[in-house]
C-alpha cells in the first residue's frame, strides 16, 4: 500500500470479513485515509474477478457506487479511489452538485467502474438514463448517519428502489460512520441490509480518540472572541480548525481574525464550490493556517496535520462533537481540542461531555460535573456509562430487521441550515 501513501494499516483495514457477509454497518475509527477501508477491498475484488475495462457508452453500468453527503467528502473519496486504482483497468468517476452537469456527463460516458456521488446528482444521472444499476455489486454509504441528518433518506430509498438495482440479498452493502445511533440502524440498516448483517466496531464505541487532549473553557457569549484570539496567538502558524454553528458566524469570525492579522479562511454551504476548494487548498498548504468551518466540514474530511481544534460554538449533539475533535489526533499523532462552554447555551451537552471526557481518560472540570449533575433527568447519572447507542442495536433489542414500521420523520435537507450537496 506504500504507493498509495499508507505505510501502516489501521484496525478496520485488517478485518477479513469486509466482503464475506451480505452487509456491513461499520463504526469506523477516525484514521488517516479512512476511505481505504472500503476502497482497497472493492478494488482488489474487482481486479481479482477480472472486471472488464471501462469503455464509452451512453449508459454506464458501474460495479460499485459510493455515496457521501457532501461535495468535499465525495471528491476526497474519488481522489483516493483514483490514486489506488492508478495503473489498473478500474476507472473511478465522481458526480456532485454545484457545477455544470455537461462536463460530468462527458467524463462519465468515457467509462466508469466505481461511481462516487452525492445523492442528488447521482439520482439525477440515473433519472437521465446515464447510469444503469444492473451490474452493481457494491453499494457503499459513507457517513450514513449524516445523510439521514441532512435529509437524504428519501434519495437513498429511491436509489435502492431504482429499476435494475440488485436486491439487498444480491448486492454487497456497506455503511460507514464513526457513530451509529439506534435510530439510524432502525431506519436504514434494517431495510438496506440483509437480516444477518455484520456490525463491526473498531476502537472505543461512540467515544473520542484518546490521542486528543480535550479542554473545556467556561465562557460567556461575549468573551469568546477574545478567548479565541488568545489561543490562536499562542498556537502561531500551527494548523487550527475553528468550528461554529452558522454560516453567518463563520464569515463573521473569519473576518474578525483577518482584521487581527491572523491568516484565516472559511468553509460553509453558502460558498461557491471553487471558493470551498480554494479554502481547503489554502488551509492544507499552510497559506491560511486557520480554517473556520461549520459542522459539516467535520464529517469524513481527511486533512493532515491539524494540530488544534477549537469549538467556538459547541454543536447541539454529542456526535458532532466527536467528529469535530476527530479532525486532530489522527494516524497516531496527538492533537488538542479546546471547546468554549456557555452555560446559557450548552447545558444540554453537560452529561454527554462528562462521559466523553471520562471514557477518553481526560480531566473533567469540577464546574462541568456540577452542570451535569444539575441537568434535567440526571437520576442515576453514571459518568462512565455509554454516551450514545453506537453498538449493534440487535443486541439491545433496539429494532427488528426490516423495521419499516418504526418510521420517524427524517429532517428535510431544504430545512437544514446547511445545504452541502
| Sequence spans of domains, the chain | 2-201, 212-374
Lowest mean pLDDT among 94-98, 101-105, 292-296, 384-388: 384-388
Per-residue confidence at 24, pLDDT binned at 50, 70, 90? low
Q: Is 127 exposed, middle or buried (0-12, 13-18, 19+ CB in 10 A)?
A: exposed
Q: End-to-end CA distance of the chain, in Å?
A: 31
| Residue 20 clears pLDDT 90, i.e. is over it | no
Task: Label residue 3 left, alpha or beta by phi (over 0 means left) and psi (-120 to 50 means alpha).
Answer: alpha
pLDDT value, residue 233: 86
How many other C-beta atoms are found inside a 10 Å radius of the C-beta of residue 48? Answer: 8
pLDDT value, residue 182: 74
CA 265, 271, 277, 278 torsion: positive or negative? negative
Rounded to two decimals, the pTM is 0.70
| Residue 162 clears pLDDT 90, i.e. is over it | yes
The CATH homologous superfamily for domain 2-201 is P-loop containing nucleotide triphosphate hydrolases (3.40.50.300)
pLDDT value, residue 403: 39
What are the distances in angstroms from CA 397 to CA 133, 151, 189?
A: 34, 26, 14
CA dihedral 240, 245, 251, 256 (to 10 degrees): -60
**Phi and psi (nearest 5°) for 158?**
-65, -40
Cβ atoms of 69 and 119 closer than 8 Å: yes
**CA dist., res. 178 & res. 206, Å (int):** 7
Give 76's contacts (C-beta < 8 A, 6+ positions apart): 35, 300, 301, 302
**CA dist., res. 188 & res. 175, Å (int):** 9
The chain-wide mean pLDDT, for the chain, equals 81
pLDDT value, residue 90: 94
- Class of domain 212-374 as given by CATH: alpha beta
Q: Tell me if domain 2-201 and domain 212-374 are identical in fold.
A: yes
When computed from its CA atoms, the radius of gyration of the chain, rounded to whole angstroms, is 21
Lowest mean pLDDT among 94-98, 123-127, 408-412: 408-412
Amino acid at each position: 500500500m506504500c504507493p498509495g501513501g499508507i505505510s501502516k494499516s489501521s484496525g478496520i483495514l485488517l478485518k477479513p470479513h469486509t466482503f464475506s457477509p451480505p452487509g456491513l454497518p461499520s463504526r469506523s475509527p477516525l484514521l488517516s485515509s479512512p476511505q481505504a477501508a472500503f476502497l482497497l477491498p472493492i478494488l482488489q475484488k474487482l481486479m481479482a474477478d477480472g472486471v472488464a475495462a471501462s469503455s464509452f457508452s451512453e449508459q454506464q453500468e458501474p460495479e460499485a457506487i459510493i455515496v457521501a453527503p457532501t461535495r468535499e467528502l465525495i471528491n476526497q473519496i474519488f481522489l483516493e479511489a483514483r490514486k489506488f486504482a492508478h495503473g489498473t483497468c478500474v476507472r473511478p468517476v465522481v458526480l456532485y452538485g454545484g457545477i455544470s452537469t455537461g462536463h460530468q456527463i462527458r467524463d462519465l460516458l468515457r467509462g466508469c467502474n466505481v461511481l462516487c456521488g452525492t445523492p442528488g446528482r447521482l439520482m439525477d444521472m440515473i433519472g437521465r438514463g446515464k447510469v444503469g444499476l444492473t451490474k452493481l455489486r457494491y453499494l457503499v454509504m459513507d457517513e450514513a448517519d449524516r445523510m439521514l441528518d441532512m435529509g437524504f433518506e428519501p434519495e437513498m430509498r429511491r436509489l435502492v428502489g431504482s429499476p435494475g438495482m440488485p436486491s439487498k440479498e444480491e448486492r454487497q452493502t456497506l455503511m460507514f460512520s464513526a457513530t451509529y445511533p439506534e435510530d439510524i440502524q432502525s431506519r436504514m440498516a434494517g431495510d438496506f441490509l440483509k437480516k444477518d448483517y455484520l456490525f463491526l466496531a473498531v476502537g472505543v464505541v461512540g467515544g473520542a480518540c484518546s490521542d486528543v487532549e480535550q479542554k473545556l473553557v467556561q465562557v460567556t457569549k461575549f468573551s469568546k472572541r477574545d478567548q479565541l484570539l488568545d489561543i490562536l496567538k499562542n498556537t502561531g502558524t500551527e494548523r487550527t480548525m475553528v468550528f461554529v454553528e452558522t454560516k453567518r458566524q463563520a464569515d463573521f469570525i473569519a473576518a474578525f481574525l483577518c482584521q487581527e492579522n491572523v491568516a484565516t479562511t472559511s468553509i460553509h454551504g453558502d460558498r461557491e464550490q471553487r471558493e470551498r476548494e480554494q479554502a481547503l487548498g489554502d488551509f492544507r498548504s499552510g497559506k491560511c493556517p486557520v480554517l473556520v468551518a461549520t459542522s459539516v466540514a467535520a464529517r469524513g474530511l481527511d486533512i493532515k496535520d491539524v494540530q488544534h481544534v477549537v469549538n467556538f460554538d459547541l454543536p447541539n449533539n454529542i456526535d458532532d462533537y466527536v467528529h469535530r475533535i476527530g479532525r486532530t489526533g489522527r494516524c497516531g499523532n496527538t492533537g488538542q481540542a479546546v471547546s468554549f462552554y456557555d452555560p446559557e447555551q450548552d447545558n444540554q451537552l453537560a452529561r454527554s461531555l462528562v462521559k466523553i471526557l471520562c471514557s477518553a481518560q481526560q480531566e473533567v472540570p469540577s464546574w462541568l460535573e456540577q452542570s451535569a449533575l444539575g441537568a434535567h433527568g440526571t437520576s442515576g447519572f453514571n459518568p462512565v456509562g455509554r454516551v450514545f447507542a453506537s453498538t449493534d442495536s440487535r443486541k439491545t433489542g433496539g429494532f427488528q430487521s426490516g423495521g419499516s414500521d418504526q418510521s420517524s420523520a427524517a429532517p428535510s435537507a431544504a430545512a437544514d441550515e446547511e445545504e452541502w450537496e
